[in-house]
C-alpha cells in the first residue's frame, strides 16, 4: 500500500567527551555511517577550529548523505568571538552541503536559565538568571531576552535553521524566542511528559521536524552496569519513535563512558550495547517506514501562560531565589496530573465506568501539551483542551478559547486559570472582570467561598461519553473532600450546575455553591471548576483528578479504535490513508509479556507483546 512516509534521521553526537577536528571524519565514518545512520551533531569546544575543517566536514557529509548540525558554537565560543562560526564559514557550508546542513543548536537553555538550583551557578562558569523579578511576566521576559540573544547571533551569521536541545518542557518558550527545530533530552524527567510537550509545541509553532537526544549515559540511571538501565535505553528509542520524533541522536556512550567515576572505552561490553542500540534504531527506521503526519492526538493539556515548571531540574520558578514565594507551590504541583495518565484506575475506584476499563490512556493512546498562547488554529486540532499549571490569563488567550469552544472544542479550566495577575502571590483579578457567561455559562460575583466540603454531582455531563459519579436523588455521600479550598462565587446564566459543594449525606438546599459548571457554547462545551486554588493544592486536587481521569476515559470510549491493555503498554496511531491506520504498541515492562486487545467496529485482535517489544499493527 502506498502512503506518504515520514522524514526520520538517526545518528550520533561527536564531541561529548573529547573533540579533535582532525578525527571528526574518521569518527563519523566508524560511529555513524558504518552503523547505517544518517545524522550527526558536531559539538565544538572553546579552541578555534580552522575554517578548512568545516568545509571538509561539509563535503564529506554531503557526499555520504549525512544530515548534520553544530552544537555549543555560541555558548562555548573561542575567546574574543561570539561564535565558533563566522559568516564566511556558514556561507561556505551552505554552498557545499545544501539540504544536509540543518544549522546550529543552542544547548539546554531551559535548564540553564529557568530550572536549576542556585548552587549550579558558579561565578565564571555559568551566569545566574537575573534575580528580583517583579512578577512572572518579567521573569519570563528575561528568559526570552536571554535566549533571543543567542538566536540573533546565529541569524546574524546567516543561519536560518536554529535548534535547541532542551532538558525541560520549556520548548514553547524557545520557539517563541525564534528556535525553528526543537529537540529534547531523554531521560531528563518523565519522557512521556517531555516528549508530549515537545510534540505539542512543535505543532503549535508549525515546526517541520522535531527531535530527541538520548542522553542516556548521564540520565538513564546512575549505575551504568545496572541491567534495567540498559533496557531503559532500548525503551527510550522506541518510545520516541512511536511518539513521532523525526531526529534521533545518541549523545554518548557508544564511544566511551566517562561519568559518575566510571571509565569505559569503546571495546567495553556496555559501550558495545550502546552501539547495538544505535544499529537497532537505524534498522527500525529503515524497515518500518512510519507514516507521515505524526500520531493522531485528540486530547491536549494547556501549559499555562508564564508557567515555568520544567518537570526536571529544580524547584524554584524561573530560577528566582530571592523570595520564598518563588518556590514551587500548588500551581507547579498541578503537573502531577500527568502521573495519572498511563495508569489504570484501581479496581476499588467506583467512579470508573463503562463496559471496559479505558481509564489509562486517552483516545489513540497519547496526548499533547501545547502552550496556552497557541492560536485558535492550533487549538482546534484537539477535541479536548485541559488547563494545568500556572496560567496568567490574557484577553488574547481568552478570545482564542472562546473560538476553540464555539467551533466544537471541549475546554476544562478552573477559576485559578482565569486570573490576569502575574504576581507570584496574586490578587484575584479575573479576565473581563468576571463577566464570562458566553464561554462559562456563569459570571463571577467577586465573592470567595472557603470550606473543606466534598462535592455531589447532580447531572450527567453534556458530553454523553463522560460519566460523572452522579445519582438521581442526591442522597449520597459527598466525595473528594481533602481540605480547605477557596471557590469563586458564581451566578449561573446559561450554564448548569454539574457538581456542588456539600457536607451532608442528605439532599442539600438549592443555595449550595457550584463546584463545577458546564456550559454549551456554539458547537462545543466547557467544564468550569470554580476553585480559586490551583488544581495542585491538596484540597482541590481530588476533584480535578477525577474530572481529568474521566475525560481521558471518555475520549477513549468515543474513539473508533480501542486498545485494552495493561498500564505498562503505550500506544499511538497513525493515518495510513483510505480509512486505514497503523498502531504502534510498546510494552514498557522490563520482564513480563503483555496482552493487548485492539477493537475496531466490532472486530477484535489480540496481540501478545514480549518485554520491551515495539510492534506495528495495520488496522
Render pLDDT for 431-457 as a digit per residue (tens, 0 to 9): 999 999 999 999 999 999 999 999 999
The pLDDT, as a whole number, for residue 124 is 79
DSSP annotation string for 396-455:
HHHHHHHHHHHTT-EEEEEGGGGB---SSS----BGGGG--HHHHSEEEEEEEEEE--EE
The pLDDT, as a whole number, for residue 511 is 63
CB 361 within 8 A of CB 341: yes
Query: Domain 299-441+516-557, what architecture?
Result: 3-Layer(aba) Sandwich (3.40)
Task: Tell me the whole-structure pTM to 2 decimals.
Answer: 0.97
pLDDT tier at 20, thresholds 50, 70, 90 = very high
User: In Å, how far are 31, 63, 66, 68, 69 from 25, measured between CA atoms?
Assistant: 10, 12, 12, 12, 14
CB 27 within 8 A of CB 17: no
**171-222, pLDDT tens digit by residue?**
999 999 999 999 999 999 999 999 999 999 999 999 999 999 999 999 999 9
The pLDDT, as a whole number, for residue 44 is 96
Domain ranges of the chain: 9-288, 299-441+516-557, 562-618
291-319 mean pLDDT: 96
Question: CA torsion, points 389, 393, 398, 400, in degrees to nearest 10?
Answer: -60
Please name which of 483, 490, 485 lies closest in space to residue 533, comparing C-alpha atoms. 485
Query: Does residue 459 have a cis peptide bond before it, meaning omega lies within 30 degrees of 0?
Result: no
Query: Domain 9-288, what architecture?
Result: Alpha-Beta Barrel (3.20)
CB 528 within 8 A of CB 564: no
Going edge to edge, which strands form the sheet with 580-587? 569-577, 580-587, 614-618
pLDDT tier at 509, thresholds 50, 70, 90 = low
CB 477 within 8 A of CB 505: yes
Distance CA 318, CA 168 (A): 12
The pLDDT, as a whole number, for residue 123 is 86
User: In Å, how far are 22, 197, 296 from 411, measured between CA atoms?
Assistant: 56, 18, 19
Please state, as a whole number, how many other Cβ atoms lie within 10 Å of the Cβ of residue 473. 7
The pLDDT, as a whole number, for residue 577 is 83
**Mean pLDDT of the chain, nearest integer:** 95
Distance CA 79, CA 494 (A): 65
**82-139, pLDDT tens digit by residue?**
999 999 999 999 999 999 999 999 999 999 999 999 999 998 788 899 999 999 999 9
Distance CA 31, CA 256 (A): 12
479-484 mean pLDDT: 96
For 195: left if phi > 0, alpha if psi spans -120 to 50, otherwise beta; the answer is alpha
**368-418, pLDDT tens digit by residue?**
999 999 999 999 999 999 999 999 999 999 999 999 999 999 999 999 999
**563-609, pLDDT tens digit by residue?**
999 999 999 999 998 789 999 999 999 999 999 999 998 899 999 99
Amino acid at each position: 500500500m502506498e502512503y506518504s512516509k515520514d522524514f526520520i534521521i538517526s545518528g550520533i553526537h561527536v564531541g561529548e567527551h573529547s573533540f579533535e577536528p582532525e578525527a571528526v571524519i574518521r569518527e563519523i565514518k566508524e560511529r555513524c555511517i558504518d552503523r547505517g545512520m544518517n545524522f550527526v551533531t558536531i559539538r565544538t569546544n572553546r579552541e578555534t577550529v580552522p575554517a578548512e575543517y568545516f568545509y571538509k566536514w561539509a563535503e564529506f557529509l554531503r557526499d555520504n548523505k549525512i544530515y548534520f548540525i553544530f552544537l555549543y558554537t555560541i555558548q562555548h565560543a573561542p575567546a574574543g568571538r561570539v561564535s565558533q562560526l563566522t559568516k564566511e564559514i556558514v556561507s561556505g557550508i551552505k554552498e557545499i552541503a545544501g539540504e544536509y546542513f540543518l544549522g546550529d543548536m543552542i544547548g539546554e537553555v531551559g535548564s540553564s536559565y529557568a530550572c536549576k538550583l542556585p548552587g549550579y551557578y558558579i561565578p565564571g562558569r555559568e551566569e545566574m538568571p537575573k534575580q528580583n523579578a517583579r512578577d512572572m511576566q518579567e521573569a519570563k521576559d528575561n528568559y526570552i531576552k536571554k535566549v533571543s540573544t543567542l538566536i540573533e547571533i546565529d541569524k546574524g551569521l546567516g543561519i536560518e535553521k536554529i535548534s535547541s536541545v532542551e532538558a525541560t518542557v520549556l520548548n514553547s518558550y524557545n520557539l517563541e524566542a525564534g528556535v525553528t527545530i526543537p529537540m529534547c533530552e531523554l531521560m531528563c524527567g518523565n519522557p512521556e511528559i517531555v516528549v508530549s510537550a515537545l510534540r505539542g509545541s512543535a505543532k503549535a509553532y508549525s515546526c517541520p521536524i522535531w527531535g530527541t537526544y538520548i542522553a542516556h549515559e548521564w540520565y538513564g540511571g546512575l549505575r551504568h552496569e545496572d541491567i534495567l538501565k540498559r533496557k531503559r535505553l532500548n525503551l527510550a528509542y522506541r518510545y520516541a519513535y512511536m511518539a513521532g520524533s523525526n531526529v534521533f541522536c545518541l549523545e554518548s556512550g557508544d564511544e566511551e563512558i566517562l561519568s559518575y567515576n566510571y571509565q569505559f572505552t569503546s571495546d567495553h561490553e556496555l559501550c558495545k550495547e550502546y552501539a547495538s542500540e544505535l544499529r537497532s534504531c537505524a534498522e527500525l527506521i529503515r524497515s518500518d517506514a512510519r507514516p507521515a503526519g505524526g500520531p493522531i492526538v485528540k486530547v491536549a493539556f494547556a501549559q499555562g501562560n508564564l508557567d515555568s515548571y520544567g518537570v526536571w531540574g529544580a524547584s524554584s520558578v524561573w530560577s528566582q531565589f530571592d523570595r520564598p514565594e518563588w518556590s514551587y507551590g500548588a500551581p507547579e504541583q498541578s503537573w502531577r496530573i500527568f502521573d495519572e495518565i498511563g495508569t489504570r484506575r484501581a479496581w476499588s475506584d467506583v467512579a470508573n465506568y463503562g463496559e471496559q476499563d479505558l481509564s489509562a490512556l486517552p483516545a489513540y493512546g497519547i496526548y499533547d501539551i501545547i502552550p496556552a498562547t497557541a492560536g485558535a488554529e492550533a487549538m482546534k486540532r484537539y477535541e479536548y483542551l485541559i488547563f494545568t499549571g500556572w496560567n496568567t490569563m490574557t484577553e488574547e488567550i481568552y478570545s482564542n478559547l472562546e473560538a476553540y469552544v464555539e467551533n466544537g472544542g471541549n475546554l476544562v479550566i478552573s477559576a485559578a486559570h482565569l486570573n490576569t495577575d502575574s504576581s507570584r502571590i496574586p490578587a484575584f483579578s479575573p479576565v473581563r472582570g468576571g463577566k464570562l457567561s458566553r464561554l462559562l455559562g456563569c459570571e463571577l460575583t467577586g465573592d470567595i467561598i472557603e470550606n473543606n466540603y466534598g462535592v455531589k454531582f447532580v447531572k450527567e455531563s453534556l458530553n454523553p461519553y463522560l460519566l460523572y459519579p452522579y445519582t438521581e436523588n442526591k442522597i449520597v455521600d459527598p466525595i473528594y473532600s481533602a481540605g480547605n479550598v477557596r471557590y469563586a462565587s458564581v451566578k449561573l446564566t446559561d450554564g448548569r450546575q454539574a457538581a456542588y459543594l456539600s457536607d451532608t449525606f442528605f439532599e442539600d438546599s438549592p443555595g449550595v455553591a457550584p463546584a463545577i459548571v458546564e456550559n454549551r457554547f456554539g458547537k462545543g462545551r466547557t467544564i468550569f471548576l470554580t476553585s480559586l486554588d490551583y488544581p495542585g493544592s491538596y484540597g482541590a486536587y481530588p476533584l480535578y483528578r477525577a474530572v481529568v481521569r474521566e475525560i481521558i476515559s471518555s475520549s477513549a470510549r468515543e474513539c473508533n479504535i480501542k486498545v485494552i491493555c495493561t498500564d505498562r503498554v503505550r500506544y499511538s496511531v497513525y493515518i495510513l490513508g483510505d480509512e486505514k491506520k497503523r498502531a504502534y504498541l510498546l510494552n514498557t515492562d522490563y520482564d513480563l509479556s503483555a496482552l493487548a486487545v485492539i477493537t475496531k467496529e466490532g472486530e477484535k485482535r489480540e496481540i501478545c507483546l514480549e518485554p520491551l517489544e515495539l510492534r506495528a499493527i495495520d488496522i
